Each structure stands twice: as structure tokens, then as C-alpha cells.
Chain A
Amino acid sequence: MDKIDRRLFLKIASLSILGVTAGSLLEVVNPKDFKDNSIEPLTKLKAKRWAMAIDLTAINEAIINNCINKCHVTHNVPNLRDKQHEVKWIWQEKYSAVFNEGDNDFNLTTLYKNKNIPVLCNQCDNPPCVRVCPTKATFSRDDGIVVMDMHRCIGCRFCMAACPYGSRSFNWTDPRPYIDKINEEYPTREKGVVEKCDFCMERLDRGELPICVEESKNTIIFGDIGNKNSEIYNILSRRTFLRRKEHLGTRPQIFYLI
């Protein structure tokens, strides 16, 4: 019954559209108001392997807070104050909590002990979350970004159990009431799906750098470590860096310069 209805309806709809378009021809059109929706070719940023280096010697809390804020506003990340139900893409933690394997009573910890450092999805080269996802809702792009496809996620939270970094957030409730001002250009999420940082892939694909990199006053370096001439490759080959829980074999692509 539904089918017949729809077919009939489509036939009638086509007639009515004819009418509408015919009507519109009669209207006076001011060409100046017209903005064409077709666009110039975007220069998409491409890489073999995107990576990020965070310079702990230079970054400070003001910068970190600004990065967090800009990222969360851009991506419509809700602000649930309840710690267990928070959603966060980038946030800050004590150095000693981030690098907490064994007892770091000496050297590095005494240097950075009470410093807050930014943490986000590590965009692992060998990501456990991708391995466990039963629907390929989370997957690795060719340039290494670990992406969430919100359209496919069933909310099983296996990826959250698999992530050794606590980088994934689940929408325990409808996030919209907790977004102060919605950025109309980016979708929100809804209750029941998992989300996380995706290296601003929507910006990269339009030729822009990730928002936190832009806001970081050069304390976050972003680039292609698959390219030996890139800035990030050079910095990483010169300077000492740490990666979170390297021994787990996930090959994280967030490097902390110390």
C-alpha cells in the first residue's frame, strides 16, 4: 500500500514541480544576489603519514586551553561537566599521569611533574580500536588518520575497551543541550555513538591545518613523517621525544618533544 502511494505521489509531485518552476520564471531575478554553489577546486592537504609533535618545552597552559577550546567549539563537542560522562577530543592531564609506566620519581618527572600536557587520540599506526570494531565504523585512512564514521557506529564501545589511552568518548546522553553555541558548519553527534579527535580531517581535506595546530603558536608541529624533507621529520630526527605506551606496539603518531 505504501508503494502505490509513493508512486502516485511522485507522479503528482513532478507535475507540481513543473508548476513551481514555471512560476519562478515569471519572477524578476536580480543576478547580483546570486552566489553560485559550485566552488573552486580545493587544494587538499595530502600526506603519506600524518603525525604531530607537541613541544613540551614550549607549550604552556594558556596555549593548551586555547587549543582545547577552539577544537571543541569547532567540532561541537558538548560540555558535560560530569567527569564520567564527558566528551573530549583534546584535553589536558598531568605529565605524571600520561607517562605513568613504572615509577618516574626521577629526572623527567621532577622536571615536568606537575605540568599539564595535552592529550588526544594518538592516531596509532597499528590501532587496536580499528582491529576490534565489528562494523568498520572506525578505520584507518591511507594517510594514517584513524577515523570514526558516525553513520555506522552501533555504540558497542569495544573500541573504548581496546584503546590503551582513554582517548575515546561515548555519548552517554544527547549532547546537543550541552553545546553552548552550535557551529552550523559541522554536525553534532547524538546519543549512543563513540567519537574522538580525527586530526581535523574535514579541514585537511579542504586545505587547512588542524585547528589545534593553528592555535598552538608553533608549539605543535604537524606534518607528513612519510616525507623526509618535512619539518616534522627533521625535528623528530634531531630532538628527543616520548610517545605514550610505546611498548604496546600501537605505534602512536603523537610525539612529545622534551
Chain B
Amino acid sequence: MFEKALVGNKKYFTLIAILLTIILISFFVYIYQLKNGLIITGMGRDVSWGLYISQFTYLVGVAAAALMVVLPCYLHNYKQFARITVLGEFMAVSAVIMCMLFIFIDLGRPDRVLNVLLHPTPNSVMFWDMVVLSVYLLLNIVTGWMVLQYERNEVKPPLWVRTLIYIAIPWAPLIHTVTAFLYAGLPGRGYWLTAIMAPRFLASAFCAGPALLILLAFIIKRTSKFDVGNDSIQMLAKIATYALIANVFFLFCELFTVLYSQIPEHLDHFKFLIIGLEGQFQYVPLTWVSIIFMLVAIILLIVPKYRKTKVLLITACFLTLVGTWIDKGLLLMVGGFVPNPFGEIIIYWPTFFESIITMGVWSFGVLILVILYKIAIAVRCEIEL
């Protein structure tokens, strides 16, 4: 099947060439980082995790969101999705690969990464995160590829493939739960120390993932003969709506607990993000952009008339993606680390080099996604036409 990725029109190869160029450039910047150390990033002793780890967190969510197409199809027998489960699974594959790369480039001593396996440490959530992510990657590669292959030969996937799919269903929320536990179990970080961390992560994942899939579906429709179908898109939009509402609701619960209890160790972080603290307002605009985007997206998604209008649906998906990305892909770190244990306020912004490396990893993920989608769509067109 792989040969399908090797043929394509000019646009396809231009895209691949652009992605490869970005990857190459960022690879050189990464070499520069290896030589000089992580000092080339904006991180420091107080904000000791930055863009890399927050991208990782965001992408675990995107990966977990494959569940939102697989589950309706296999557990609720929602047949419309049968045509697109593979798109969800391949999106998960590319997202998990990006996750692993982001962890890797964040390490100070990447040459020693195998120590995690040489000295396995069950009390470390990081260890479990690596385990569950690797398994999830394998599950999605195997099920996505196998399902596609069997469909192409027009036979039903055998039992073992279906078993793996059923295993992958609970595994998706598992990866994001474990990722939330990375943060939620740390005693000194009031912003993260909350039992609702994992549910909130899941909610934001299950709205961002389908929103991304909807946008991808529109792109696919424009660039190929494959049409995901209006019903599927509307179904995805509904899923995103519920998840987005849950996400905002969880945020509200969080805010209530923190604001009403007034415990400074928790309150200060939220104050810093929402209204500013000690005259420092750097992240306040971003926080509000995130909240407003999510609220507007809810309105656009919840009213059927708007949801069924293509432009508004696309806008809503875009707002959802940006809103959740700011929340989880950037502010999660800042909120957690600032103020620092001594109550000082530190301002973190990613540096130019850090952003280039980040873009490189994203490009690598997109490259994998494009290639996998190319194959999947070619095969689907073959079956359906």
C-alpha cells in the first residue's frame, strides 16, 4: 500500500518539500541546541518546562481524540464513521510520534534516554507515560494499517485486529489521564494540584481532536475525491460541542474552588493568568483570548443553524483549536511554574530557536500525517469508486 504515497500531484510534492525544508532547518537548530545546551530556550530554573513539554501535553490530547471516531463506530455501531476511523487512528499515530519527539528534544541528556528502560522505576509517572504512549502508538499503527488493508481486499478485519481496536478504546483516555497525573501529583504546584486535571485534559482533548478532524475533512474534500460526508462532520461537530462545554464547565469548577476558598497557593497562579499579579499582566490577554474563543465556539457549535453553515463551523473549529492550544499548549506551564516557590514572578516566552525546533517537530508530524492520509484516501477511493 505504501507505494500510494509515492505518487501524487504537484501540490502534494510541494507540500512535502516545504515540510522537509522546515524539518531540515530545525534539525540544524536542534544540533545547535545539543552543542550549547538548553540555554538557547526561554526556560530557566523557575519555568523549567516550556513550549516543548506543553506541546507534548497538547498532542497527547490530539492522539487520545482518535477515540471519538473509533468508539462510536465500534461500540455504538455508528456506521458513518467506519469510513473515517482510519483517519482518526492515523492522526493519533502522527500525534504520538510528535509527543515522543517533544519529550526527547526536551531532555538535557538525550544520549542517556535508554536509562528509563535500563532502570525502570514504577513510582515515576514519567515511566508509565512512556509505556502507555508506546503501546498506544503500536496499537494505532497496527489497527489503522490492518483495517485499511483488509478493507482494500474487501474482507472483514480478523478477530485479533478487532481485539486490538477494543483495547485501544480504553487506552486512549488512559494516555491522557497518565499525562495529567504527571502534573496533578506534584505537591508544591497549586495550579496543577487538582483532581479535575485529568477530566479537564480529556474534555479539552475531545473537543480539540474532533475540531481538528473536521478541518482536515474539509481540506481532504478540497484536495481529493474523498468526501468524509456531511453526516460524519455534523456528528463530529456535536461531539466537539459537548466536550467543549464540559471543558468550560470544568474550568468553571476549578475557578470556583480556587476563587472561593482563597488559598493563596492555588489562587495566586490563577490570579496571575486572569487578572495579573503584582503588576505583571503579561499573560492576561492570552488567557482571555483563550476563554473568549472557547465561549464563542460554544455558541457557534450549539446553534444548529450556525453549525450547519460551513464557514461558521470552520470558524468554530478554528476557535476551539486555538483556544484549547493557548490553554494547554502554553499557559499550562506558565500557570504551573509562576509564581515560583519564593513567590517571585518570572516571565517565560519561547525563544526564536525554541520556536523553530518546535515548528520542526510539528512539521515532522504533519509530514507523517500527510503521507498516511495520502495512503488512506487513495485506498478508500479505490474501494468506493
Contacts and interface: CB of A to CB of B under 8 A. Distances in A.
A131 interface: yes
Given A134-B127, A137-B115, A248 B188 contact: yes
Contact of B38 (A83, A152, A172): A172
Interface stretch (A33-41, A96-104, A180-188): A96-104
B109 A97 contact: no
A85 B112 contact: no
Interface string B332-376: 000011001111101000000000000000000000000000000
B254 interface: no
B126 A136 contact: no
Interface residues of B, number: 46
Given A84-B45, A128-B188, A97 B115 contact: no
A135 B46 contact: no
Interface in B284-338: 336-337
A131 B37 contact: no
B45 A166 contact: yes
Contacts of A193: 108-109
Contacts of B124: 131-134, 158
**Chain B binding surface, main DSSP class:** loop
A171 B107 CA distance: 12
A93 B344 CA distance: 11
B109 A86 contact: no
Contacts of B39: 85, 172-173, 191
Contacts of A137: 115
Contact of B126 (A100, A102, A156, A164): A156
Contacts of B340: 166
Q: Chain A contact residues (Cβ within 8 angstroms of B): what range?
A: 35 or more
A148 to B, nearest CB: 13
Nearest to A129: B186
A78 B182 CA distance: 31
A84 B336 CA distance: 17
Contact of B187 (A85, A152, A248): A248
A85 B107 contact: no
Contacts of A172: 37-39, 43-44
Contacts of A165: 188, 341
B265 interface: yes
A160 B48 contact: yes
A155 B107 contact: yes
B189 A100 contact: no
Given A156-B106, A170-B108, A131 B188 contact: no
A100 B342 contact: yes
A93 B116 CA distance: 35
Given A86-B45, A133-B124, A152 B119 contact: yes
Given A154-B113, A155-B109, A102 B264 contact: yes
Interface string B258-270: 0000001100000
Among A158, A169, A171, chain B packs the most CB atoms within 10 A around the CB of: A158
Interface string B31-73: 0000011110001111011000000000000000000000000
Given A154-B108, A155-B108, A161 B116 contact: no
Contacts of A194: 108
B107 A93 contact: no
A210 interface: no
A169 B113 contact: no
Contacts of B49: 157, 161
B125 interface: yes
A157 B108 contact: yes
B121 interface: yes
Contacts of B337: 161
Interface in A125-178: 128, 131-137, 152-158, 160-166, 168-174
B138 to A, nearest CB: 20
Given A98-B342, A134-B126, A161-B336, A250 B187 contact: yes
A43 to B, nearest CB: 32
A98 B187 CA distance: 17
A156 B43 CA distance: 13
B9 interface: no
Contacts of B44: 83-85, 172
Closest 7 interchain pairs by CB?
A: A155-B108, A164-B188, A84-B44, A192-B108, A191-B37, A134-B126, A172-B39
23 contacts: A84-B46, A85-B45, A134-B121, A134-B127, A136-B121, A137-B115, A153-B108, A154-B110, A154-B113, A154-B115, A156-B107, A161-B48, A161-B336, A161-B337, A163-B341, A166-B45, A166-B341, A172-B37, A172-B43, A173-B37, A173-B39, A192-B107, A245-B188
